[in-house]
């Protein structure tokens, strides 16, 4: 794997995946649901895939999407921190990556005021 300092450099990025889930502290959030937007960055050595041009030597992006979708549309959490943690754990369990960065955005958070989204980000290593 290629590193810059202690950080792996190669990564696969799935950005702005949209799902409908039932996460939130308020009862209405868990009853009515709302959209969630998720970014996932997978850190791994991409040199073998780049050299071979063989899909078997990399990660199946569609499978990553399905794993994230299962978590976000699955059993509700009160906190998006818990959603992010579940996504990170599922990705590390399913795929041979050195680490994963997960960002969960809540564009319709029930907070007064104007904003693009509220978000949390977790980064987990093996």
DSSP one-letter code for 68: H
Burial class (CB in 10 A: 0-12, 13-18, 19+), 31: exposed
Enclosing H/E stretch for 28: helix 27-32
Question: Are 21 and 36 spatial neighbours (Cβ–Cβ below 8 Å)?
Answer: yes
Enclosing H/E stretch for 3: strand 3-4
Residue 106 annotated in active site: yes
**Given 15, 93, 105, 106, which residue is catalytic?**
106
Task: Give the residue numbers marked as catalytic.
Answer: 106
């Amino acid at each position: 794997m290629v590193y810059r300092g202690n950080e792996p450099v190669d990564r696969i990025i799935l950005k702005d995946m949209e799902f409908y889930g039932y996460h939130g502290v308020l009862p209405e959030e868990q009853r009515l649901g709302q959209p969630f937007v998720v970014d996932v960055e997978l850190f791994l050595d991409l040199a073998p895939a780049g050299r071979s041009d063989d899909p078997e030597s990399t990660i199946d992006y569609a499978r990553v999407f399905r794993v994230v979708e299962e978590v976000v549309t699955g059993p509700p959490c009160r906190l998006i921190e818990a959603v992010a943690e579940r996504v990170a754990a599922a990705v590390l369990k399913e795929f041979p990556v050195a680490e994963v960065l997960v960002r969960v955005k809540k564009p319709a958070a029930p907070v007064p005021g104007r904003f693009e989204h509220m978000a949390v980000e977790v980064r987990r290593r093996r």
